[in-house]
Amino acid sequence: MQLRFRTVFWSVAGLVVLALIVWAFWPRPVPADFAVVRRGEMVVSVRDEGYTRVREVYVVSAPLAGRVLRVDSEAGDRVEAGEVLANILASDPAMLDVRSRSEAEAALRSAEAALGFAAAQLEAARAEAELAAQEAERMEILAERGTISQAMLDRARTTLRRADAALATARANLRMRQAERDAAEARLIRPDAAPAGEGVVEVASPIDGQVLRVLQESEAVVQPGTPLVELGDPADLEIVAELLSTDAVRVEEGADALIHAWGGPVPLRAEVRRIEPFGFLKVSALGVEEQRVNVILDLLAPREEWMNLGHGYRVEPEIVTWRGEDVVIAPVASLFRHEGGWAAFRVEEGRARLTPVEMGRSNGREAQILSGLQPGDTLVLYPSDRIEDGAAVVPREG
């Protein structure tokens, strides 16, 4: 009886030890993160650093040689067209030699010709502004009727703003040419022909705008063409995005864009106006030489939303290069390279199945799936080396 008890005891103990060994080495499901393939809209864009820029910057220069008195204007001051920015004590014209006088007379004739050309440009800009205003008015009426889209109305408004800006530029250019003509005439005035008490040439502002920079603040002797003050209209801003040339080739004029990191609570809507055809070399902060291209964008958001932006402010434009309305989308984190192509682990009945995938476009977070997966499929995110075809997987806790 005792022998039989020992036999049963050790048999049961052996079975328990064997069960424990089998349980210890039995393959367990691998915990993993899951994601679901979906169908929807997908946007591919490029994002890089950029800066704001006043569309038309006017550099007011000394029209003649002399001593410029101290400039009282400061950066940020509002100025009106015709307002005096600087005073220059002109050199004595009586001291001009024959060659200098001939050059001054030629400069006067050139200034008069430039004045006539500026007047013609003003007439052309006025005609374009009138046409843009009529077109914008028609678009407003059509938009109220629901005949056109909001995008077409925004483009019409942008065209009107551009035409108004071009008209203001033409007017300022005419005033600038008039000032250049007056300065050229002033160089030929002899001391005995000047009214008593005069001898100061006033340098006036060609536009209604704001002082951006004072380039010559202190009193000094200047030569013709010496920059004195930079002027511009901060309400007429554009965005300059310095994109890598490999990204710029994927951008098209008229593409939608968003302006991030500008300091406001929400991104600003913008539109690509021009892609410059000439690239330039720029060295990054890490010392890497990069070929970059300037992409110019117009702000579509109302002025009230970005009125605190100024000239030369840093921003981060994001430009749309492709948009898909109804595509199959999977997370990029679920895809990996396999035999020269792409693959993913699709979860079926608790097991990971290696599935070849044909991938289209990608925005870094999501990828367009051309074949291999269907909406509703569950995928393994960030698959580790423990997961292979047929391996059991379970959702990761927490």
Residue 172 parent element (H or E): helix 150-187
Type of residue at 251: V
pLDDT score of 212: 92
Q: Write the Ramachandran bin of 197: left for phi over 0, alpha for psi from -120 to 50, otherwise beta.
A: left
For strand 341-348 and strand 393-395, is the pairing parallel, antiparallel, or unpaired? unpaired
As a whole number of Å, the end-to-end CA separation of the chain is 55
User: Is it the case that residue 76 has pLDDT exceeding 80?
Assistant: yes
Cα 185–Cα 190–Cα 196 angle in degrees, nearest 5: 100
Q: Could you give the CA distance from residue 385 to residue 287 in angstroms, rounded to a whole number?
A: 36
Q: Could you give the CA distance from residue 111 to residue 204 in angstroms, rounded to a whole number?
A: 16
pLDDT score of 192: 44
Position 41 confidence tier, pLDDT thresholds 50, 70, 90:
very high
pTM of the predicted protein model: 0.62
pLDDT score of 194: 43
Q: Could you give the CA distance from residue 295 to residue 55 in angstroms, rounded to a whole number?
A: 13
Position 92 confidence tier, pLDDT thresholds 50, 70, 90:
low
- DSSP codes joined into one string, 15-83: HHHHHHHHHHHSPPPEEEEEEE-EEEEEEEEEE--EEEEESS-EEEE-SSSEEEPPP---TT-EE-TT-
CB 346 within 8 A of CB 352: yes
CB 86 within 8 A of CB 220: no
Helix axes 98-145, 150-187, angle to 10 degrees: 160
CB 320 within 8 A of CB 44: yes
Q: Which CA distances in Å does 84 have to 51, 57, 88, 197, 218? A: 30, 18, 11, 18, 16
pLDDT score of 306: 92
Position 179 confidence tier, pLDDT thresholds 50, 70, 90:
confident
CB 262 within 8 A of CB 268: yes
Q: Could you give the CA distance from residue 8 to residue 14 in angstroms, rounded to a whole number?
A: 10
List the CATH code of the domain at 30-42+325-395.
Answer: 2.40.420.20
Q: How far is CA 165 from the centre of its chain?
A: 20
Spatial neighbors of 144 by CB under 8 A, at least 6 apart, are none
pLDDT in tens, 237-265: 999 999 999 999 999 999 999 999 999 99
Position 231 confidence tier, pLDDT thresholds 50, 70, 90:
very high
pLDDT score of 6: 65
* CATH 2.40.420.20 in the chain, residue ranges: 30-42+325-395
pLDDT score of 38: 94
Q: Could you give the CA distance from residue 55 to residue 158 in angstroms, rounded to a whole number?
A: 14
Q: Could you give the CA distance from residue 125 to residue 165 in angstroms, rounded to a whole number?
A: 9
Structure tokens belonging to residue 297: 């964008």
Q: What is the mean pLDDT of the chain?
A: 84
Spatial neighbors of 133 by CB under 8 A, at least 6 apart, are 160, 163
* CATH 2.40.50.100 in the chain, residue ranges: 56-232
pLDDT score of 1: 55
Q: Could you give the CA distance from residue 303 to residue 254 in angstroms, rounded to a whole number?
A: 20
pLDDT score of 260: 95
pLDDT score of 10: 64
CB 86 within 8 A of CB 201: no
Q: How far is CA 387 from the centre of its chain?
A: 43
248-257, 277-286, 389-398, range with greatest mean pLDDT: 248-257
Structure tokens belonging to residue 260: 């991030």
Q: Could you give the CA distance from residue 343 to residue 355 in angstroms, rounded to a whole number?
A: 5
Type of residue at 393: V
pLDDT score of 65: 81
pLDDT in tens, 307-341: 889 899 999 999 999 999 899 999 999 999 988 89
pLDDT in tens, 114-147: 888 888 888 888 888 888 888 888 878 877 877 7
CB 288 within 8 A of CB 29: no
User: Mean per-residue pLDDT for 363-367?
Assistant: 91
pLDDT in tens, 154-170: 887 888 888 888 888 88
List the CATH code of the domain at 56-232.
Answer: 2.40.50.100
pLDDT score of 354: 93
